Amino acid sequence: EAGVTQFPSHSVIEKGQTVTLRCDPISGHDNLYWYRRVMGKEIKFLLHFVKESKQDESGMPNNRFLAERTGGTYSTLKVQPAELEDSGVYFCASSQEMGFGEQFFGPGTRLTVL
């Protein structure tokens, strides 16, 4: 079974540019999560989709971040315009169930904003 995949693995952009990250969850997983780890700090929750609906977006830092999951399959996270503090590793995770359901993580996208 294929795991969670993310694209790209690395992205280097300049401040003010736009970047779109993609996540493909495990097939059949209705729950999709985005997390971010800024250098040396904890992995922080950004938002949670159930199918195509945003269940919880309490972790989204500001309106420069836009997440979508059209059709309830893959998800994209767009940062526009990117700022220096957006640098970090963006993880996607998916789970079959909410709550106690194991969240399977993708390999992450390392975003560097110069």
Partner 1 sequence: GENVEQHPSTLSVQEGDSAVIKCTYSDSASNYFPWYKQELGKRPQLIIDIRSNVGEKKDQRIAVTLNKTAKHFSLHITETQPEDSAVYFCAAINTGTASKLTFGTGTRLQVTL
Which H, E and C letters describe 11-47, residue by residue? EEECCCCCEEEEEECCCCCCEEEEEEECCCCCEEEEE
Buried (b) or exposed (e) across 31-45, using 16+ Cβ within 10 A? Answer: bbbbbbeeeeeeeeb
Taking CB under 8 A as the criterion, the residue among 20, 43, 72, 112 binding partner 1 is: 43
Taking CB under 8 A as the criterion, the residue among 48, 90, 111, 113 binding partner 1 is: 48
User: Token pair for residue 2?
Assistant: 């294929």
Q: Is residue 11 close enough to count as binding partner 1 by CB under 8 A?
A: no
Q: Is residue 55 close enough to count as binding partner 1 by CB under 8 A?
A: yes
Interface mask (CB under 8 A) for partner 1, residues 74-93, using x and -? Answer: -----------------x--
| Residue ranges binding partner 1 (CB under 8 A) | 3-4, 31, 33, 35, 40-45, 48, 55-56, 58-59, 91, 95, 98-108
